[in-house]
Structure 1
């Protein structure tokens, strides 16, 4: 017997039209969590902050 994928929000079997979710409601809940920053993608600090900073040697005397 094949394993049926389940909705990551409620655990019900997924529906092809809303995959990987079971309904539009669960898809909207997930999207809301991304918008409210409940989910985050880990990343390394960028070098941009150091490139845009002014060093003491660059300041006029």
Structure 2
């Protein structure tokens, strides 16, 4: 487990018997990957990539 300078907690668990890492961001979003670099990039890109983009409204 690691935390950022702002106190946010990021958790990465290894799934025993596999090469898969399972990450949980401080916002509750989850992601699995085999590449540790991919996992950290996903975590540190918060909030980008953590949830679907909000629909864009019409500007009038």
Structure with the larger RCO, 1 or 2 (CA within 8 Å, 6+ apart): 2
Structure showing the higher strand proportion among its residues: 2
TM-score bin, normalised by smaller chain:
under 0.3
Give the TM-score normalised by the residue count of structure 2.
0.27
Structure showing the higher helix proportion among its residues: 1
Q: Bigger radius of gyration, 1 or 2?
A: 1
